Amino acid sequence: MTEHSLWRLSHALHRAINERHFDPLAELIDDDIDWAIYGPINMFPFLGARLGKEAVLDAIRQIADHVRIRKLERETLMLGDSTAATMVRCAMTTQHSDKPITTRLAQFLQFRAGKLARLRILIDTFDLVEQTLGHPIDLPRIGSFA
């Protein structure tokens, strides 16, 4: 049995973000990748949609400029021949203030010839924004469940 493409990608992505070694990751990304990380792009401009390898590598460089991953804890994992879906708890720190941030991510990946061809990540953005701001967001109640 061969190693699933997710494992190689996970290790290379972690190394790219924390150690700024992008070449091994670039080898695992399809030239025509379709990439989207859903979240508040006004607050985190490295989130959002990207098309093509260079645009994705630029987004990963921006992520590396802002955070350092401390721990990834996989809560759920589903693997197919050329697909993967995971729920991950990610503990990181900001590069500039060393402030700890923890969030959950749902990741959906598709591979073509062993390279990442499509990625979708959904982030628990409400919690992420509160941690980044350093205080709870005060929202009005919109209904009652009494």
Return the structure tokens found at 135.
Answer: 């205080």
Rounded to a whole number of angstroms, the distance between the first and last alpha carbons of the chain is: 54
The sign of the torsion formed by the CA atoms of 75, 36, 71, 24 equals positive
What pLDDT, on the 0 to 100 scale, is given for residue 143? 66
Parallel, antiparallel or unpaired: strands 29-38 and 115-123: parallel
Q: What is the pLDDT of residues 90-142, one digit of tens each?
A: 999 888 888 888 899 999 999 999 999 999 999 987 777 777 777 777 777 77
* Helix locations, 1-146, DSSP H: 5-19, 23-26, 53-66, 125-133
Q: What is the pLDDT of residues 65-82, one digit of tens each?
A: 999 999 999 999 999 999
Cβ burial of 143 (10 Å; 0-12, 13-18, 19+) is exposed
d(CA 41, CA 127): 15
**Interior CA angle at 122 toward 112 and 125, to 5°?**
155
Q: What is the pLDDT of residues 1-44, one digit of tens each?
A: 468 999 999 999 999 999 999 999 999 999 999 999 998 888 88
Return the structure tokens found at 16.
Answer: 């790219």
What pLDDT, on the 0 to 100 scale, is given for residue 128? 74
d(CA 49, CA 18): 22
Tell which residue, 38, 74, 42, 57, has the closest CA to residue 116. 57
- pTM for this prediction: 0.85
